[in-house]
């Protein structure tokens, strides 16, 4: 049976945290190991520059950081192709061709773009750059350059994938049936709340536990987690339903531990400090294999570079094959 091509990836703007792990990384590893898919993971450095154009060093540094996070979580370069977006010129070329198929007003109506522009007011003010407004076009090129049939993503990405589908349909209508129309595979992983109870976990909010955090850092962060504000003394009756420590126990502790934690909290028999210490210990043990693998790659950056180089070379070959078909269809193959 022919394997289905999957295209997924992340922007190298920072380290990955446990929200990323439960939200998409675990699923990627499962799909990779199933043997049913031909998976490509891009490190989207070009897309990262759309709102980090004034800090290229940050993007460059995080390319390797992101690669190490992938590898430490179980992404296997023998089964999955990891490549760097900027090293695939065919994607940039295809972005230019696609830009003729999308109107400015259509980009401005994209719900995901509208939301992200609102979030970037401090950076852009009232003048959004062409690159940021047009990144859905670039994303469509990323997917179709590799003939991605499936794109694992969250619900917030649906408008972007739909825009890619529109571009493919328009291209095929004009030039012939050349491109594969991608389908979104909605992530089954739930969004993990921050330690402060915020619905979003992120670096700017200071409420995230990162996959590479040390034992000391994890413990310090857990000890600062928000608990039931009405529980002042140890023997006060608590409500685990509004306590982030209990919330995280449900992610990292056994069913028996969770039952005990909630029961003793409600009865005022367990203090928050003891509960946090137990949680910190469980998180540390859960992430230990990931941290150990990451430490290995940190000590051997040449291995990471080799994986990225070979993955990018393989991706480039695939991209060239797609671009050859595209240029033939567009009558741009002058000397073939």
Is the pLDDT confidence value at 70 over 70? yes
Is the pLDDT confidence value at 189 over 70? no
**Any idea which of 1-15, 184-198, 314-328 has the lowest mean pLDDT?**
184-198
Is the pLDDT confidence value at 143 over 80? yes
Is the pLDDT confidence value at 203 over 80? no
Confidence (pLDDT) at 198: 86
| Higher per-residue confidence, 14 vs 124 | 14
Grade residue 128 by pLDDT with cuts at 50, 70 and 90.
confident
CA angle in degrees (0–180, nearest 5) for 292-293-297: 115
Which CATH number is correct for 4-193+301-329, 3.40.50.620, 3.40.640.10, 3.30.70.270, 3.20.20.370? Answer: 3.40.50.620
- The pLDDT > 90 percentage for the chain reads 59
Average pLDDT, the chain: 90
Whole-prediction pTM? 0.89
Is the pLDDT confidence value at 79 over 90? yes
Grade residue 1 by pLDDT with cuts at 50, 70 and 90.
low
Grade residue 92 by pLDDT with cuts at 50, 70 and 90.
very high
Domain ranges of the chain: 4-193+301-329, 215-294
Same CATH fold assignment for domains 4-193+301-329 and 215-294: no
CATH architecture of 215-294: Orthogonal Bundle (1.10)
| Higher per-residue confidence, 177 vs 336 | 177
């Amino acid at each position: 049976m022919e394997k289905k091509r999957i295209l997924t990836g992340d922007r190298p703007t920072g380290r990955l945290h446990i929200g990323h792990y439960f939200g998409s990384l675990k699923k990627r590893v499962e799909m990779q190991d199933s043997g049913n898919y031909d998976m490509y993971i891009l490190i989207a450095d070009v897309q990262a520059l759309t709102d980090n154009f004034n800090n290229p060093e940050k993007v460059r540094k995080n390319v390797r950081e992101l690669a190490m996070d992938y590898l430490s979580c179980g992404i296997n370069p023998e089964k999955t192709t990891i490549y760097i977006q900027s090293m695939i010129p065919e994607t940039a070329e295809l972005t230019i061709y696609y830009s003729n198929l999308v109107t400015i007003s259509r980009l401005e109506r994209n719900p995901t773009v509208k939301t992200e522009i609102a979030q970037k007011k401090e950076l852009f003010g009232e003048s959004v750059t062409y690159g940021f407004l047009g990144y859905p076009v670039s994303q469509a090129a990323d997917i179709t350059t590799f003939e991605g049939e499936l794109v694992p993503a969250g619900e917030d990405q649906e408008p972007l994938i739909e825009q890619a589908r529109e571009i493919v349909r328009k291209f095929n209508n004009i030039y012939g049936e050349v491109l594969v129309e991608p389908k979104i595979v909605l992530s089954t992983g739930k969004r993990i709340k921050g330690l402060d109870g915020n619905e979003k976990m992120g670096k700017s909010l200071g409420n995230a536990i990162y996959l590479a955090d040390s034992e000391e850092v994890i413990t310090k962060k857990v000890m600062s987690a928000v608990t039931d504000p009405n529980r002042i003394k140890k023997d006060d009756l608590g409500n685990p339903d509004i306590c982030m420590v209990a919330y995280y126990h449900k992610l990292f502790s056994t069913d028996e531990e969770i039952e005990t934690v909630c029961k003793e909290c409600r009865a005022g028999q367990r203090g928050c400090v003891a509960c946090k210490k137990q949680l910190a210990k469980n998180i540390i043990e859960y992430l230990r294999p990931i941290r150990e693998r990451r430490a290995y790659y940190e000590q051997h950056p040449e291995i990471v570079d080799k994986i990225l180089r070979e993955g990018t070379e393989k991706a480039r070959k695939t991209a060239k094959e797609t671009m050859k078909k595209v240029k033939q269809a567009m009558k741009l193959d002058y000397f073939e």
